[in-house]
Amino acid sequence: MKALVTGANGFTGSHLVQLLVAQGNDVVGLVRRTSDLSRLADLDVQLVYGDITNADALNQAMADVDVVFHIAACVDLGIVDAARMERVNVEGTRTVLTAIRAQPNPPKLVYCSTIGIYGDTAGKVIDETYQRTQEGFSSAYDETKFKAQQLVNQHVADGFSAVSLMSGGIFGADDPHFGPVIKLFLQGRLPIWPGCDRITGIVHVDDLVQAMLLAAEKAPSGEHFIISAGELSIGEMFNILGDAAGVKAPVDAPKSLVRLIGGLLDPIGKAFSWNAPLNNELVHYIYDRCVRISGEKARRDLGWQPRSIPEILTGIVKELRVS
């Protein structure tokens, strides 16, 4: 198989490239000229340089490709550059789809979506049949990924092949998002944390990319798969990490204090284009928005077998302690 991976140098993209190469596939990676390519060091991957909205670069990268894994995205919450997020997540996806349609033999698309497209489920555990009920969007990220998913759905309706994977929280020792928090915790420098009763679904990055390959191989066009190894509270997560590392779990920060600090920092962040560690959007995600998910369909239809939540978390502790 010859595969194109957009966002090949990123966290998820680089793990996908590693797996594809290890299985003997020919891999093309779309990266920017300014990208940090350290995650791709020593990997046998053909690099094509270009922005995700660069049609010429995408057409070059897609030559004779069997599958396009569209991973590239602008991922952030809080006070963000919404225009950039729109350009990357929506217009970038539109450009990828246009390039696929331009190929003599249009390749299959495996699209890395997010559970955020479902909106706030108010604590209801959902599967892929769930229809979004939330009015408006909790963030620019959710909105732009929702718009991109609509484009992918239309791509399928127009007769082209695509499968979408909606992932829960993606974890790994080199995770650039929650990874630094885990490192602080293991160093004993995280005595307090907000929203310890918040429920989240998680998956190890290597299990996510395995699901992508299974989707490319087995899934009929138009299928959607929620990718989650299971759910737990943030407090339970720290307890598992703490038991594995011999570190005391943080205490839950007072909700009223967190809301107060978020409300104070929000206007400051907006005034100075600073994504403060706490702001109104992040507080909303911590306390007010609850998306709960089931990954049963991927297990049943794809034969996906992710590691368990304790295995994910204790494995990360072991990797970080070794490094």
Count of CB atoms situated within 10 Å of the CB of 312 = 22
Q: How confident is the model at residue 254 (pLDDT cuts 50, 70, 90)?
A: very high
Sign of dihedral through CA atoms 31, 319, 26, 109? negative
Q: Which CATH architecture has domain 2-176+200-228+290-304?
A: 3-Layer(aba) Sandwich (3.40)
Which tokens hold the place of 171?
Answer: 């974890």
Q: What is the pLDDT of residues 193-220, one digit of tens each?
A: 999 999 999 999 999 999 999 999 999 9
Going by C-beta distance under 8 Å and a sequence separation of 6 or more, which residues neighbour residue 248?
188, 242
Q: What is the pLDDT of residues 275-305, one digit of tens each?
A: 999 999 999 999 999 999 999 999 999 999 9
CA atoms within 13 A on the CB side of 168: 30
CA distance 262 to 82: 20
Q: Is the pLDDT of residue 323 over 90?
A: no
Q: Is the pLDDT of residue 145 over 80?
A: yes
Going by C-beta distance under 8 Å and a sequence separation of 6 or more, which residues neighbour residue 136?
none
- The predicted pLDDT at position 322 comes to 66
Q: 287 with 255: CB under 8 angstroms?
A: yes
Q: Domain map of the chain by residue range?
A: 2-176+200-228+290-304
Q: What is the pLDDT of residues 71-120, one digit of tens each?
A: 999 999 999 999 999 999 999 999 999 999 999 999 999 999 999 999 99
Q: What is the pLDDT of residues 233-249, one digit of tens each?
A: 999 999 999 999 999 99
- The predicted pLDDT at position 144 comes to 97
